[in-house]
Amino acid sequence: MKVAKFGGTSMASAEQLIKVANIVKADENRKIIVVSAPGKRFKEDTKTTDLLIALGESCLKGENTDDKLMAIVDRYKEIAENLNLSNEIIDEISTNLHELIQADQTNTDRFMDGLKASGEDNSAKLFAFFLNSTGVAASYVNPKDAGIVVTDDPGNAQTLPETYENLKKLKGRNEVIVVPGFFGFSPEGNLVTFSRGGSDITGSIIAAGVDAELYENFTDVDSVFVANPNIVDDPKEIKELTYKEMRELSYAGFSVFHDEALIPAFRAGIPVCIKNTNNPSAPGTFIVAERDFSKDPVAGIASDSGFCSIYVSKYLMNREIGFGRRLLQILEDEGISYEHMPSGIDDTSIILRENQLCDEKEQRVLDRIKTELNVDTISIRHNQAMIMVVGEGMTSYVGISAKATAAFARAGVNIEMINQGSSEVSMMFAVAESDAPKAVVALYNEFFTEAANQEELPLVLR
Ligand SMILES: Nc1ncnc2c1ncn2[C@@H]1O[C@H](COP(=O)(O)OP(=O)(O)O)[C@@H](O)[C@H]1O
Ligand SMILES: N[C@@H](CC(=O)OP(=O)(O)O)C(=O)O
């Protein structure tokens, strides 16, 4: 049995739904289908999830929401009409949205989660309805009935272990099952969404729960590329990646796959394949336990912006036992997570996502570090980007970081910080946000052009 997840780009229009239905029909092993909410039909379009968020925010402000609600119903209506489906399904979706905006707003996160989840929920109902209309026996299954149990952390749920046992009941059914992605239910029965892009997680946990032979993740590109195609023109395709590499790359900015979606499939030993709904015969990218690193020690280059770095220096920091713990304790008290913490003898930097700090919180954190840890200097640098060079094979070759830094130098990009992950799977470079695209292109040219492919690096002797 295969589990196939179709992303927002695959659910965006009637034309796309026809392609998805044909993909489902083309392989009878595609028994469980996980769908996202209708996504972007063209570059400047807005995802239904974002329309729902805007609707929810308007409701909370007490504004008139008629137009916003109508725009969402219209997205589904256009799809249904172009598929010649009866009004029944659109009436159901419209009623559902009207009910959701009337829901209890006391807990705003919960209210928002209900609306956000409706994007995938209604998409799944619509797709199951469409499949049935084409003669394919299909049923919509709600994540609650499927047994997807998650932590009660709105917008950031994590799967609870009992889910995997519960999901076994989806096996062996004599029809196609359509499950909405992106949300589950807490043990108390509250609907809770995963973080953005979380339908990938639903697909992975279901694949693990039913012990699928393959988890196929359908999107709008033929494969995962070695660099973001929005930054590098026509980048090289990746045939195989390890779970570890894909997780690192996703976390560092490859938005094509959610970084938390790999672990469930990996633990259950299920291969993952990223494929294109618009070109399903292309082989796609396989994510596997092991690959041959000899040709491509570097698997890919990712970049992400929106970071800041807090720099702290104090003479004899190296001798002060407990300094690091107390510094991190301040972040923990403030509910801030950090990404990297490179340090020297008398100084250390902490890199974090800057959306965690409003002006007031930033000032409080800096003041606390200054007074509670009695530091000599403290400063914060905003608008930083992290460039990540990732590859499990890097550990076996000499000179990869030299090549990377030479590429930065040639592109005239100043490296503000370097950090090599302890497993040597990744190398991180902090640069100014405005330099990030230039840096990615320079690294791409260094590692993935023809000349780079012919250059043999010496192996590490162990
Ligand atoms: N390294 C990469 N390889 C492939 N696609 C990437 C990469 N980095 C970013 N992307 C972007 O991810 C997009 C697919 O992800 P997403 O928009 O979430 O699709 P879906 O709606 O199908 O889930 C691609 O269209 C591409 O622009
Ligand atoms: N629709 C949700 C969940 C999701 O996974 O979407 P997509 O498959 O379009 O990335 C979001 O936009 O976050």
Ordered by start, the domain boundaries in the chain are: 7-213, 300-452
What three-state secondary structure class fits 187? coil
Extract the annotated binding site for ATP: 5-8, 219-220
The CA distance from 255 to 249, in Å, is: 9
Q: Is residue 40 a contact partner of residue 47, using CB atoms and an 8 Å limit? A: yes
Pocket flag, ligand 2, residue 264 (CB < 6 Å) = no
Q: What is the pTM of this model?
A: 0.92
- Tell me which H or E stretch contains 178: strand 176-180
Torsion of CA 15, 143, 222, 78, to 10 degrees: 20
pLDDT at 456 (0 to 100): 75
**Nearest CA owner, ligand 2 atom 4:** 197
The response to whether residue 40 sits with its C-beta less than 6 Å from ligand 1 reads no
* Residue 5 CA, closest ligand 2 atom number: 8
Through-space distance between the first and last CA atoms of the chain, rounded to whole angstroms: 43
Q: For ligand 1, what atom is nearest to the CA of residue 223?
A: 4
Residue with the smallest CA separation from ligand 1 atom 12 is 256
pLDDT of residue 454: 58
ipTM, 2 dp: 0.98
Compute the distance from residue 196 Cα to the ligand 2 centre, in Å: 6
Cβ neighbours for 269, distance < 8 A, ≥ 6 positions apart: 289
Query: Is residue 197 lining ligand 2, measured as CB closer than 6 Å?
Result: yes
How far does the centroid of ligand 2 lie from the alpha carbon of residue 167, in Å?
A: 22
Over residues 22-54, the pLDDT tens digits come to 999 999 999 999 999 999 999 999 999 999 999
Give residue 397's pLDDT.
84
Q: Which ligand is nearest to the CA of 36?
A: 2
Q: Is the CB of 65 under 6 A from ligand 1?
A: no
pLDDT in tens, the chain (462 residues): 999 999 999 999 999 999 999 999 999 999 999 999 999 999 999 999 999 999 999 999 999 999 999 999 999 999 999 999 999 999 999 999 999 999 999 999 999 999 999 999 999 999 999 999 999 999 999 999 999 999 999 999 999 999 999 999 999 899 999 999 999 999 999 999 999 999 999 999 999 999 999 999 999 999 999 999 999 999 999 999 999 999 999 999 998 999 999 999 999 999 999 999 999 999 999 999 889 888 888 999 999 999 999 999 999 999 999 999 999 999 999 999 999 998 999 999 999 999 999 999 999 999 999 999 999 999 999 999 999 999 998 988 888 889 999 999 999 999 999 988 767 799 999 999 999 999 999 999 999 987 666 567 777 766
* Ligand 2 pocket member 180 (CB < 6 A): no
Q: What is the pLDDT of residue 453?
A: 61
What is the CATH topology of the domain spanning 7-213? Carbamate kinase (3.40.1160)
At 369, which helix (H) or strand (E)?
A: helix 359-372
pLDDT at 282: 97
Q: What is the structure's pLDDT at 295?
A: 80
Between the CA of 38 and the centroid of ligand 1 the distance, in Å, is 15
Binding site residues for substrate, as ranges? 49, 120
- Which residue's CA is minimally distant from atom 20 of ligand 1? 7
Token code pair at residue 342 = 């490179």
β-partners of residue 185 are 149, 191
Centroid of ligand 1 to alpha carbon of 111 (angstroms): 29
Dist. CA 157 → ligand 2 center (Å): 14
Ligand 1 centroid–CA 444 distance in Å is 18
Atom of ligand 1 nearest to the CA of 300: 1
Supply the residue whose CA is at minimum distance from atom 7 of ligand 1. 228
- What is the token pair recorded at 377? 């200097």
> Which tokens hold the place of 449?
């052009």
CA of 445 to the centre of ligand 2 (A): 31
Radius of gyration of the chain (CA): 24
CA atoms in the 13 A half-sphere facing the CB of 245: 32
At 459 the three-state DSSP class reads strand
CATH fold label, 300-452? VC0802-like (3.30.2130)
Which two tokens mark 299? 């698997």
